Amino acid sequence: MQHKFLASLLFSVIGLGLALAAYAAPLGNTGVDGSLGALLALIGAGVTAAGTGLLVLGVMPNRGVLVFVFVLLLAAGLTAVAAWFLMQFVFAAAMGAAFLSFIFAFFSSVRRTAS
């Protein structure tokens, strides 16, 4: 289990919930409810959350993690841009935070000290 990607998972799941709320619009008119752009942003957030979940659970082999993290970084960044263009700024901020937490988690190392 890779604990350093838990923040990315949290922001991705928050983004997925916000994308679902923007697409389905249970609380009123969002202006993008039911549109193709909102559906694509929902798919992007779902792929990011599912991929991050696989990464946190450690299902990936070690040699493919670099490419997988790059693809998830790209998915989070492009979904944030899509949310920005849909004028869903909280959704864009959540996916931007997922993007930044991917960068931080990738370059951070888990240091263990002997006790």
> What tokens does 82 get?
């899509």
Q: Cα–Cα distances in Å, from 49 out to 12, 53, 111?
A: 5, 6, 26
Strands (E), the chain: none
Task: Enter the pTM of the model.
Answer: 0.86
pLDDT tens, N- to C-terminus, the chain (115 residues):
678 889 999 999 999 999 998 888 877 767 788 889 889 999 999 999 999 999 889 887 777 888 888 999 999 999 999 999 999 999 999 999 999 999 998 888 666 555 5
Q: Cα–Cα distances in Å, from 14 out to 8, 9, 20, 48, 51?
A: 10, 9, 10, 11, 14
Domain ranges for the chain: 3-106
